[in-house]
Structures are given as structure tokens and as C-alpha cells.
Amino acid sequence: MPFLADSLSRVKPSPTIAVTTRAAELKAEGRDVIGLSAGEPDFDTPENIRDAAKAAIDAGKTRYTAPDGIPELKQAICDKFRRENGLSYQPNQISVGAGGKQTLYNALVATLNEGDEVLIPAPYWVSYPDMVLLAGGNPVIVEGSADQGFRITPEQLEAAITPRTKWFIFNSPSNPSGAGYSREQLKALTDVLLRHPHVWIMSDDMYEHIAFDGFEFCTPAEVEPKLYDRTLTCNGVSKAYAMTGWRIGYAAGAVELIAAMRKIQSQSTSNPCSISQWAAVEALNGPQDYIAMSRDAFQRRRDLVVRMLNACDGIHCPTPDGAFYVYPTIDGCIGKTAPSGKVLETDEDFATELLDSEGVAVVFGGAFGLSPAFRVSYAAADDTLVEACTRIARFCEALK
């Protein structure tokens, strides 16, 4: 009898962690490595939020809470949805977890049976397919190629739906491409979903607030109110308020689904950190200046990185609508030989050679289900980004 669960053999280790580990090894050897692989803002959590956490500790708010969130945070989340998204939820429709990741995972565990399919547009956030596999479902990938702006078409969505489709995962702006769906583009998808009442929608709105050039963020339950009852609207404070380490994410949806997610959380992790919950209350209810400040900084950096990468031989870098990633395609580099003598057959080869020869850590496109490409996280200081892009240009120039 094997000791480890069968479900584990279906899951691969996180490729982003593999890159980060290799970069750390090179650093330990004394190499000068620039890491552009991490998916988190490089800013500090705003002071008002840090102060709220300190006050919570001093006020003794350090005990167990309700398993899926304190009433004050659930109310702040309901207010946020009403204020920012025109969506009306009651506190019993809200689940708070240890990061967006836990709420997404809970929803999948709560609903997937063997053979259930989950539609995932590629390029996708690395965790979606593996979370589906761990929860016992089958990920079905729908490819949003570069020439489609990394978006899927309504025809592709229609063709991918089967009687076993349980969820459609939607993420706009997207990790890793930064592509966002306009209201019109999203409406074309929700029109398809209206025709298939057995499909539920999991909208991962994690990058809602990081959107550029006036891109208007929209979310399925708001664009098509007829889908409200079968949409789980997911979000969190990690990216919006530079709170990745605090571990607070949340989801809003049908009372029955939220109750099922609560059951799972109450028998696994119990409540997310009490102090972080109070910090999240302040994040959502307090001053919102950080959002505009970080958005402006990310837009400036995006422009810098897109311009510099497009000047590199063999690289084409589309301009993303949001998030803090670019997803350049590298068809022009594949098949060439690196200075080490290695022929670049895949984007993984490209990323490995780039790290080894120039000390720049990026994540290869294969990890996100769309190749050949790589992801750069530009949540780094401007001069770091200039240096990194200069090295990438040198690397590309040296390819023969």
C-alpha cells in the first residue's frame, strides 16, 4: 500500500518556486542575480493598515474567530462589493480565507466530484490546474493565444463546455499575461455561459485595482446579473494593498456554497489570522491612496519594461492592461544556440540559460500553459528593471 495519496502524483511542484530556488542557489554561490519571478508588490503594507494590526494585538484580538471571518470584515467586504462593483451581498454570502488561494481551493474541494471538468483559459495562474487536480477534478485548458491578446473567444468557450463542466475560471486582469477583458468582451463570454445553466463561474478578481490606461475593470456577476446566483466572485487584499504575507482573501457567492466552504475551513485551518483580519478591515474601510500610488508606479514600470523588451532580438512584448506582469513571446529565440552551446528548444531552456548566463530569473511560459514565452514580474525598482532588461537584451543578442 503506497504511503502517499494518489492525488499527489497528479500534481506537479510549483514551477515558480523551482525558479526562485535556482536563483537563491546562484545567489548563495555569490552570483549577482535579479529576481523577476515573484508575484508580489515590492511596496510596504500601508502604515494605516500596519497600525490597525498593532492596535488589534494590543486590544487582545488574538483569539480564535468565526471560522470564515469576523463580522466586521464580512461587512467591510459587502461594502466594498457594493461601492466598487455594484454588487449586493449579505454577510452570509461571504467567506474569508488565508489568502485568495485558500478560498479558491475551498470552493473547488467543496464542489468537485471525480470526472468534473473545470475550464481554465491559458495562459493561467500556475495554481489553477493543480488545485483542480488536488480537488479531484479535471482541468480543461482553453488557449488564449498571443494573437488573440491572450484572451479566449466566445466560440472557444462554447466549444469547450461539456455536460461535465462544473466551473469556468475567469481571471482579468490576468496573471501571467496582464490581459484584461473589456465589458464588451466579457459580455460575449457571459452570453455563452447563460446558455449553459450547469456551469458555475469562478471569477478571480485579484488584480482588480492594478489596471492601466483607464482600463475599466468588470466582473461577471455585475456584467451579467443573471449569472449572479452561480458566480463566486473572488478577491483579496494581497495585491491591492501589498499584503501578500498577511494571508487574507475572500469570496462572495451563493449561501449554500459559502456554507460548504465554511465547513471545509472549519475542519482544516479554522479562521484566518485574527490580526490580519483586523488589518484587512482597515485596508477596505480606510484611506485608499495606496491603490492609486501603486497603480501609477506599476504603469510607469510596465511602460519601461515593454519598451525595453520590444527592443530585444526575437522578443515580442504585448502591452498588458493590468497586474504587474508582462508576458513576452519568444518565437524568434527558439531554435537558436546560447553562448553555452545549448540549443534553446523550449522556453524553459530560454529561462534556464538566461538565469545561468545573465543572472536574471524569470518564469518560463510552459508553467502557465502557453509557450514559447516567459513572465516578468515588474514589481521591482526602476533601476533594477533597467538592468534586468539590459541583460535580457545582451542575452538575446548573443544567441546564434
Ligand X SMILES: Cc1ncc(COP(=O)(O)O)c(C=O)c1O
- Which residues contribute to the site for ligand X (CB under 6 A)? 39, 99-101, 125, 171, 175, 204, 206, 236, 238, 244, 249
- At closest approach, how far in Å is the CB of 188 from ligand X? 22
Task: State which residue, 49 or 396, has the beta carbon closest to ligand X.
Answer: 49
Contacts of 117 (CB under 8 A, 6+ apart): 137, 138, 139, 140, 162, 164, 165, 166
Task: State the Cα–Cα distance between residues 279 and 258, nearest whole angstrom.
Answer: 23
Residues 6+ apart with CB under 8 A from 197: 230
Which residues are 121's β-sheet partners? 142
- DSSP letters for 242-272: T-GGG--EEEE--HHHHHHHHHHHHTTT-S-
Provide the minimum distance between the beta carbon of 12 and ligand X in the complex, in angstroms, as a whole number: 17
Find the shortest distance in angstroms from Cβ 341 to ligand X: 35
Cα atoms found within 13 Å of the Cα of residue 191, Cβ hemisphere only = 10
Q: Could you give the CA distance from residue 73 to residue 278 in angstroms, rounded to a whole number?
A: 7
Closer CB to ligand X, 45 or 171, in the complex: 171
| Nearer CB in complex with ligand X: 248/333 | 248
- Cβ–Cβ under 8 Å, residues 315 and 351: no
Q: Which is nearer to ligand X, 37 or 371 (CB)?
A: 37
For ligand X, which is the closer residue by CB, 238 or 274?
238
Kindly tell me which of 180 and 236 has the beta carbon lying closer to ligand X.
Answer: 236
Smallest distance, Å, CB 212 to ligand X?
17
The residue (of 121 and 359) whose beta carbon lies closer to ligand X is 121
Shortest CB 88 distance to ligand X, Å: 24
* Alpha-helical segments (H) within 36-181: 47-58, 71-85, 100-111, 127-134, 154-160
Nearer to ligand X, 129 or 314 (CB): 129
List, in sequence order, every beta strand (DSSP E) within 290-373: 325-326, 360-361, 363-364
Distance CA 107, CA 353 (A): 39
Least distance in Å: CB of 37 to ligand X?
Answer: 12
Pick between residue 39 and residue 314 the one whose CB is nearest to ligand X: 39
CB of 338: closest distance to ligand X in angstroms? 30
Side-chain-side CA neighbours of 17 within 13 Å: the count stands at: 5
Q: Whole-number minimum distance, CB 189 to ligand X, in Å?
A: 17
Nearest position to ligand X, beta carbon: 99
Contacts of 260 (CB under 8 A, 6+ apart): 110, 111
Picking from 373, 360, 396, the residue whose alpha carbon sits closest to that of residue 326 is 373
CB of 20: closest distance to ligand X in angstroms? 13
The 10 Å CB-count burial string (b at 16+, else e) for 89-106 is beeebbbbbbbbbbbbbb
- Residues 342, 260: contact at Cβ < 8 Å? no
Residue closer to ligand X, measured from CB, 178 or 314: 178
Strands 374-377 and 363-364: antiparallel
- Least distance from ligand X to the Cβ atom of residue 233, Å: 13
135-172 in b/e form (b: 16+ CB < 10 A) is bebbbbbbebebeebbbbeeebbeebbeeebbbbbbbb
